[in-house]
DNA sequence: TATAAGTATTCGAATGAGTCGAACGAATGT
DNA sequence: ACATTCGTTCGACTCATTCGAATACTTATA
């Protein structure tokens, strides 16, 4: 094995484009605050004002930043790109409709996730009561081990990768019920594999239960996960353990067929 | 006046961060294709493979790019950032609900736009029939002069800026009815200003009419524009010229009050 | 009106970082 | 076993980014 100069011991981050990093530093900082001035940015990020200025100029010229009422903001170019990125996920349109259908049928919240960088990301969500699509949350991330759909997705990974992921996974508890032990997670995955559905009992949010299933492509590859969430007093017993799972398995099956033939 | 080395004659783009530009070249190219290989990217963009490689490494490490089934793709980080950027627009949540309400009431398509970089950008959209929120389109852009909401927004700009914008505007026709003359646009704007609503008759899409109004903040600043669109055979006569305008003006008024008190 | 505090912008110099191209390695299919 | 495509590494050159200080602009405050 040849030595890799500059390798960090965890084996990541070699030879990166620094300028790109500083650029996203700025963007991400803008994303957190809302509306920051050049001086503030330079101060908090420890870059020279002139440096930040040049970056902001560039970002604004490219449409990624706007200078609205006395402060710099993240531009909607990110939304534009993000939306087309989402739309390219296989079966996204079909799944979105199904999510709304499920929400309406159950009266609970239904959602669709895909895996990215070891987390699951919300791609669609609908609430039953009024079929209002709640956008806040779209794009945000949850660790795989803290979501029913996450477990379902995880279970579909072929064996070598699965072990790998479990090993390199760091378990940061979200609630007092979040799984923190890889063996427990592994056990749950193995237990659910022939059933095909997975639970989440207050592991990501107190007082909230969920059931999730995976959606797979024709070659057995994972596309994403579908789940129904609701208050634990409403999602329990028969409803949680058989009624909703059946519904989800049916939906997944139908989706998988439709996606395969599209 | 001191000379500005590097100034282009149109007075734009000085002293930009080149690396950031190449980086977004890559991202935007990925956004168009779906799933490109390193070699392809390098070829089409005329960068050395090693250069593109380094950028992709960086982008992937930062979560802005993913390497899925044998090709590089835009990551969902863009969606995440874009969604929070959108949510920070004043009154966005209120407007989104209103858009759905209007869509349901009219049975037509309702939408909300804001202005950015001389275009209007879709922030929300709803279709009447089934109240299904159609996401494709969100984030995409239309020139101000080719949309009813665009005209409404334009009309709210104070005088010096308005003339400026009209002058530096380049009119690329979208359909055969698109406005191509600044004087015509100016006339329409002046005509509509006391009414408060504006029309679009097949100017952005053949066979499609629309009415639009502006939403303003307490200080008279423009927040965005609201419009209803539909087939020209359904949107005409009384309905187009009085019924829908009244509805929209009422909605705008209500929104403006709610936004001011929030 | 003058002053101050905030903002954004420009400049030149230094060096640090991005770029290239070629050569290597890995993976896949024929 | 070969060819093809894809990704990775390396070192050298040079261009571009970074910095800090000085300038300019705008808005509040005395």
Q: What is the DSSP string of B161-220?
A: HHHHHHHT-----SSTTS---HHHHHHHHHHHTTT-EEEEESSSSTTEEEEEEEEE-TTS
Give the CATH number, domain containing residue B255.
Answer: 3.30.450.40
**Residue A8 domain-assigned?**
no
Query: How many Cβ atoms sit within 10 Å of the Cβ of residue B16?
Result: 18
pLDDT, residue A69, reads 86
Q: Is A30 among the domain residues?
A: yes
Residue A64 forms contact with B (CB below 8 Å) = yes
Burial class (CB in 10 A: 0-12, 13-18, 19+), A78: buried
- For chain B, what percentages of helix, strand and coil (3-state, to nearest 5) are there? 45, 20, 35
pLDDT range class, residue A17, cuts 50, 70, 90: very high
Closest alpha carbon within chain A to B141: A80
Name the DSSP class of A205. Answer: S
Same domain, B42 and B104: no
Domains in chain A: how many in total?
2
B 149-208 near A (Cβ less than 8 A): none
CB contact under 8 A, A81 and B84: no
Domain assignment of residue A6, yes or no: no
Residue A10: predicted pLDDT: 36
For residues A141 and A247, membership in a common domain is answered with yes
Same domain, A110 and A238: yes
3-class SS at A115?
strand
Tell whether B165 is covered by a domain: yes
| Distance of C1' in C23 from CA in B49, Å | 13
Best of B85, B87, B126, B133 to mutate (most A CBs within 10 Å, chain A): B85
Structure token pair of residue B67: 């390497």
Q: Do the chains contact at B139 and A80, CB–CB below 8 Å?
A: yes
Instruction: Give me B119's structure tokens.
Output: 């275009």
Q: Of A38, A56, A75, at which residue does a domain stop?
A: A75
Contacts of A79 in chain B (CB under 8 A): 78-79, 82-83, 85-86, 121, 138-139
Give the pLDDT band of residue A13 (cuts 50, 70, 90). Answer: very low
- With respect to residue A239, please indicate whether it lies within any of the assigned structural domains: yes
What residue in A sits closest to B16 (Cα-Cα)?
Answer: A58
Series of mean pLDDT values for 10-residue runs along chain B (262 residues): 34 73 96 93 95 96 93 96 94 93 93 95 85 68 96 92 88 95 96 95 94 94 95 94 98 96 86
Half-sphere exposure of B250 (CA within 13 A, CB side): 8
B93, B66: one domain = no
Residues A125, A215, single domain; the answer is: yes
Pair B254, B124 in one domain: yes
Phi, psi (deg, nearest 5) at residue A85: -60, -45
Q: How many CA atoms lie within 13 A of B221 on its CB side?
A: 11
When pLDDT is cut at 50, 70 and 90, the band that residue A185 belongs to is very high
User: Do A211 and A111 fall within a single domain?
Assistant: yes
State the CATH number of the domain containing residue A33. 1.10.10.10
State whether B12 and A61 contact (CB < 8 Å).
yes
B2-12: pLDDT as tens digits: 233 333 333 34
HEC secondary structure over B52-101:
HHHHHHHHHHHCCEEEECCEEEECCHHHHHHHHHHHCCCCHHHHHHHHHH
B47 touches strand C (CB under 7 A): yes
Q: How far is the C-alpha of B248 from the C-alpha of B252, rounded, in Å?
A: 6
pLDDT of residue B74: 97
Partner residue facing B17 (CB), from A54, A83, A117: A54
- pLDDT tens-digit map of A129-139: 754 555 558 99
Per-residue pLDDT for A147 more than 50? yes
In whole angstroms, C30 C1' to A16 CA is 37
d(CA B124, CA B31) in angstroms, rounded, equals 21
Residue A190: strand, helix, or coil: helix
Distance from CA of A238 to the nearest CA of B (A): 31
Footprint of strand D on the protein (CB under 7 A): A 2-5, 14-15, 18-19, 22, 46-51, 54-55; B 16-20, 37-40, 49-50, 53-54, 56-57, 67, 70-72
For strand D, which nucleotides have at least one atom less than 7 Å from a protein CB? 5-11, 15-22
> Does position A67 have pLDDT exceeding 70, yes or no?
yes
> Are the beta carbons of B148 and B130 closer than 8 angstroms?
no
Residue B9 lies in a domain: no
Whether the per-residue pLDDT at A205 is higher than 50: the answer is: yes
Phi, psi (degrees; rounded to nearest 5) at A225: -135, 150
Calculate the alpha carbon distances from B231 to A213, B153, B205, B206 in Å: 40, 23, 10, 9
Last residue of a domain, one of B37, B52, B75: B75
Half-sphere exposure for A23 (CA within 13 Å, toward CB):
28
Asked whether residue A69 falls in the same domain as residue A168, the answer is no
- Regarding whether B178 and B53 lie in a shared domain, the answer is no
Using CA atoms, how far apart are residues A107 and A101, in angstroms rounded to an integer?
10
The pLDDT assigned to A170 comes to 93
Query: Which domain range does residue A25 map to?
Result: 18-75
Does any domain span residue A3?
A: no
Q: Note the Cα A33 to chain centre separation in Å.
A: 22
> Which nucleotide does the CA of A2 lie closest to, via C1'?
D9
- Residue B13 covered by a domain: no
Q: Are residues B67 and B182 in the same domain?
A: no
Q: Which residues from chain A sit within 8 angstroms of residue B141, using beta carbons?
A: 80
Q: Same structural domain for residues A164 and A137?
A: yes
Asked if residue B28 and residue B103 are part of one domain, the reply reads: no
- Predicted confidence band of residue A160 (pLDDT cuts 50, 70, 90): confident
The last residue of a domain, from among B75, B94, B114: B75
Q: Is the CB of A38 under 7 A from strand C?
A: yes
- At residue A116, the pLDDT reads 94
Whether B20 and A55 lie within 8 Å, measured CB to CB:
yes
- Interval A238-262: pLDDT, tens: 999 999 999 999 999 999 999 999 8
The two tokens of residue B76 are 């969902």
CA–CA min distance A55, chain B (Å): 6
């Amino acid at each position: 094995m040849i030595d890799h100069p500059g390798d960090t011991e965890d084996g990541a981050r070699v030879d990166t484009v620094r300028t790109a990093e500083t650029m996203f530093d700025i963007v991400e900082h803008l994303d957190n605050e809302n509306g920051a001035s050049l001086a503030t940015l330079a101060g908090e990020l420890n870059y020279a004002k002139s440096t930040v200025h040049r970056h902001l100029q560039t970002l604004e010229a490219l449409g990624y930043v706007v200078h609205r009422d006395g402060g710099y903001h993240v531009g909607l170019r990110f939304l534009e790109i993000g939306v087309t990125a989402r739309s390219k996920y296989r079966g996204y349109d079909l799944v979105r409709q199904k999510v709304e259908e499920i929400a309406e049928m159950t009266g609970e919240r239904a959602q669709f996730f895909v895996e990215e960088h070891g987390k699951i990301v919300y791609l669609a969500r609908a609430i039953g009561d009024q079929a209002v699509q709640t956008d806040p949350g779209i794009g945000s991330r949850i660790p795989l081990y803290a979501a029913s759909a996450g477990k379902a997705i995880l279970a579909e990974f072929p064996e070598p990768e699965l072990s790998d992921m479990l090993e390199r996974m760091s378990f940061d508890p979200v609630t007092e019920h979040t799984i923190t032990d890889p063996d427990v997670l592994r056990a749950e995955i193995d237990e659910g594999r022939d059933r095909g559905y997975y639970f989440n009992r207050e592991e990501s949010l107190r007082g909230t239960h969920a059931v999730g299933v995976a959606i797979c492509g024709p070659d057995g590859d994972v596309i994403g996960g579908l789940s129904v969430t609701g208050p634990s007093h409403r999602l329990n017993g028969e409803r949680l353990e058989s009624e909703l799972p059946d519904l989800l398995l049916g939906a997944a099956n139908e989706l998988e067929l439709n996606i395969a033939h599209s």
